[in-house]
């Protein structure tokens, strides 16, 4: 896969909560010991595609994922992660800041 395609797959997975909600999703709240988690995180202005030069150095910041969660306190804390689509570990994401960095060589 090309670099743009791999990163697009990673971003698409991150954006899955922004799609249309079903009736069931609108009614679900998740009670836990910290209160009620009533709102899904929403990504802010995610690009459809990102072009990356294959010669960027390891550690290069590709972009920053930005999101908000309207829940308060613990339930509003965002933790970013890549859960699929990056089988070669070409990218990493800082779980606190949302910075996506190059961690593998892009020219394959």
CATH number of the domain bearing residue 12? 2.60.40
- Is residue 24 included in any domain, yes or no? yes
CA 71 to the chain's CA centroid: 18
Question: Residue 23's pLDDT band (boundaries 50, 70, 90)?
Answer: very low
Name the domain count of the chain.
1
- Is residue 35 included in any domain, yes or no? yes
- Is residue 107 included in any domain, yes or no? no
- Is residue 108 included in any domain, yes or no? no
Tell me whether residue 93 is exposed, middle or buried, using C-beta atoms within 10 angstroms of its C-beta: 0 to 12, 13 to 18, 19 or more.
buried
Question: Residue 101's pLDDT band (boundaries 50, 70, 90)?
Answer: very high
* 34-68 pLDDT per residue, tens: 566 677 888 887 787 888 888 999 999 999 988 88
- Is residue 75 included in any domain, yes or no? yes
Q: Can you give the pTM of this predicted structure?
A: 0.64
- Is residue 48 included in any domain, yes or no? yes
Under a CB-based contact definition with an 8 Å cutoff, are residues 68 and 55 in contact?
no
Provide the residue range defining the domain that includes 32: 3-102
């Amino acid at each position: 896969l090309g670099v743009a395609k791999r990163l697009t797959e990673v971003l698409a997975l991150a954006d899955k909560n922004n799609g249309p909600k079903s009736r069931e999703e609108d009614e679900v709240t998740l009670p836990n010991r910290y209160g009620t988690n009533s709102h899904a995180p929403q990504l802010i202005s995610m690009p459809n595609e990102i072009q990356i030069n294959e010669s960027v150095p390891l550690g290069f910041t590709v972009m920053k994922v930005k999101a908000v969660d309207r829940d308060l306190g613990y339930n509003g804390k965002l933790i970013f992660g890549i859960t699929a689509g990056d089988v070669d570990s070409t990218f990493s994401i800082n779980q606190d800041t949302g910075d996506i960095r190059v961690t593998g060589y892009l020219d394959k």
